[in-house]
C-alpha cells in the first residue's frame, strides 16, 4: 500500500484532469471508445451500455484478428444494440450475424432494418430526427450525405446520461446542416470520416468540417488506411496539424473520455 498525503492526492487529481481533457471534474464515470478498424467502434457508456457501430469485422483488413471472431460480440460482452450508418458492406457486413447471435437490437434506417428479416423486437428501424433509448444512452439519427440501399444514409449522435455526446459521422461530405447537429447536440467527441478517395470527404475537407461547424474536445479520425486509395495516417496528421484534439488511434486501441 502506498500512502499519499492530502497534497499529493490533490496533485494526482489535477494530473488526472490534464490526462483526460475531454472529461470535466463532475464526470465520475468514463466513456470507453474502442476502434475496431475502418468505421467500426465499440462504445461502452458511463452506465455500462455496450454499443457496436458499423461492424465490418470479418472482412476488414485493418481489424486485429482477435476482434474478428464474432463470438466476442455475444454472451457477457454482447452489445445492447448494433448501429449501422448505411447498407454498404464496409459498414454493415457483420451486423445481422452479430444481432442474430447475440440478440442485440439493430438500429439503422427503417427500410434497411426491415430488409434484414430479424424478429420485430430486435428491429429498430428509424429515420432522420428519430431517437432510440438503449440503456443509459439516447441514440439520435442524423443526416449523412452519401448513399444506402434500401433507405438512406445516417450518422449517429449518442447522448449519455451525464450530458456528454458522441457523433459518428458515417460516410459523408461536409454539409450545411452539420451546423444544426452542433446546435442541437454540441458533440464532445467526434468519430470523423476522413478517408477521401472516391466515396467520402478527404482529410482536408474533414478539417474544414471541424473548423466550420464543431467545437469538440476530442476528434477520432476513421475510415482511412483500410484499403488502397484511402488517406493514410500521415495524410490525416498533416491535415490536422496543430489541432491537439486529434486522437489518431490504432485498430484495437481503446480510449477513455
Ligand atoms: Zn464506407
Residue whose C-alpha cell is 464526470: 27
Measured in angstroms, how far is the CA atom of residue 46 from the centroid of ligand 1? 28
Its sign, for the CA torsion 103, 193, 185, 45, is positive
Any residues with CB less than 8 A from the CB of 69 and at least 6 apart, and which?
A: none
pLDDT score recorded for residue 20: 45
Over 50: is that where the pLDDT of 73 sits? Answer: yes
Measured in angstroms, how far is the CA atom of residue 8 from the centroid of ligand 1? 48
Measured in angstroms, how far is the CA atom of residue 93 from the centroid of ligand 1? 11
Residues of the chain above pLDDT 90, percent: 89
Task: List C-alpha distances in Å: 86 to 26, 165, 204, 210.
Answer: 35, 21, 23, 22
Distance of CA 43 to the CA centre of its chain: 7
Report d(CA 56, CA 38) in Å as an integer: 8
Its sign, for the CA torsion 107, 65, 35, 136, is positive
Strand partners, 52: 42, 82
pLDDT score recorded for residue 27: 55
Any residues with CB less than 8 A from the CB of 114 and at least 6 apart, and which?
A: 123, 125
The 10s digit of each residue's pLDDT in 128-159 is 999 999 999 999 999 999 999 999 999 999 99
- Classify strands 189-193 and 165-168 as parallel, antiparallel or unpaired: parallel
Residue whose C-alpha cell is 467545437: 215
Helices and strands in the chain: count of H runs, count of E runs: 7, 13
Measured in angstroms, how far is the CA atom of residue 108 from the centroid of ligand 1? 15
| Average model confidence (pLDDT) across the chain | 92
User: Helix, strand or coil for residue 137?
Assistant: strand
Nine cell digits for residue 171: 460516410
Measured in angstroms, how far is the CA atom of residue 240 from the centroid of ligand 1? 21
Over 80: is that where the pLDDT of 25 sits? Answer: no
Measured in angstroms, how far is the CA atom of residue 18 from the centroid of ligand 1? 34
Give the pLDDT band (50/70/90) at residue 213. Answer: very high
The answer to whether the beta carbons of residues 102 and 84 sit under 8 Å apart is: no
Which protein residues have a CB closer than 5 Å to ligand 1 (ion)?
90, 171
Task: List C-alpha distances in Å: 10 to 16, 88, 257.
Answer: 10, 50, 20
Amino acid at each position: 500500500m502506498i500512502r499519499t498525503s492530502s497534497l499529493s492526492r490533490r496533485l494526482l487529481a489535477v494530473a488526472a484532469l490534464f490526462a483526460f481533457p475531454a472529461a470535466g471534474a463532475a464526470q465520475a464515470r468514463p466513456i470507453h471508445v474502442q476502434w475496431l478498424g475502418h468505421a467500426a467502434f465499440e462504445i461502452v457508456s458511463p452506465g455500462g451500455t455496450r454499443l457496436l457501430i458499423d461492424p465490418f469485422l470479418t472482412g476488414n483488413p485493418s481489424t486485429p484478428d482477435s476482434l474478428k471472431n464474432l463470438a466476442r460480440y455475444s454472451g457477457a460482452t454482447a452489445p445492447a444494440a448494433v448501429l449501422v450508418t448505411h447498407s454498404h458492406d464496409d459498414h454493415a457486413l457483420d451486423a445481422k450475424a452479430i444481432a442474430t447471435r447475440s440478440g442485440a437490437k439493430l438500429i439503422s434506417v427503417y427500410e434497411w432494418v426491415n430488409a434484414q428479416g430479424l424478429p420485430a423486437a430486435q428491429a429498430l428501424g428509424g429515420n432522420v430526427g428519430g431517437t432510440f433509448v438503449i440503456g443509459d444512452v439516447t441514440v439520435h439519427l442524423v443526416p449523412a450525405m452519401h448513399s444506402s440501399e434500401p433507405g438512406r444514409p445516417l450518422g449517429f449522435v449518442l447522448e449519455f446520461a451525464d450530458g456528454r455526446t458522441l457523433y459518428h459521422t458515417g460516410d459523408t461530405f461536409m454539409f450545411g446542416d452539420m451546423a444544426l447537429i452542433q446546435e442541437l447536440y454540441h458533440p464532445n467527441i467526434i468519430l470523423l470520416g476522413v478517408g477521401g478517395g472516391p466515396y467520402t470527404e478527404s482529410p482536408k475537407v474533414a478539417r474544414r468540417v471541424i473548423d466550420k461547424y464543431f467545437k469538440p474536445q476530442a476528434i477520432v479520425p476513421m475510415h482511412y488506411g483500410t484499403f488502397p486509395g484511402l488517406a493514410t495516417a500521415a495524410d490525416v496528421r498533416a491535415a490536422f496539424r496543430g489541432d491537439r484534439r486529434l486522437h489518431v488511434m490504432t485498430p484495437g486501441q481503446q480510449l477513455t473520455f
